[in-house]
Amino acid sequence: MTIANDVLRVVMAQPGLSAEDIAGRLFGDKATMQRVNAACRKLVEERRLVRSGRGGPSDPFTYHLPTHPSILTPT
């Protein structure tokens, strides 16, 4: 299994996590978000994940599946 697949599995189970939270769930409490950043960026580029937030300490990027209700716009 790849890190990208692991990231997708974690986000499916709990949408809205930051890269730091995802890294912690995959690699333990001492993990840094750099361990999953590349996979998250690639998944966003491939449109398999959606990223929200401004990316700073007070509003970190969070990740959802493209079909998650929290990111869909009302019709």
pLDDT 10s per residue in the chain (75 long)?
Answer: 699 999 999 999 999 999 999 999 999 988 888 889 999 999 999 999 999 999 888 999 999 998 755 555 544
CA distance 70 to 61: 14
In a domain? residue 59: yes
The values of phi and psi at residue 13, to 5°, are: -75, -35
Stated pTM of the model: 0.83
What is the distance, to the nearest Å, from the Cα of residue 26 to the centroid of all Cα atoms in its chain?
12
CATH classification at residue 10:
1.10.10.10
In a domain? residue 75: no
Q: State how many domains the chain has.
A: 1
In a domain? residue 73: no
In a domain? residue 74: no
In a domain? residue 14: yes
Which residue segment(s) compose the domain that 52 sits in?
3-67
Non-local CB neighbours of 44 within 8 Å, separated by 6+ positions: 50, 51, 63
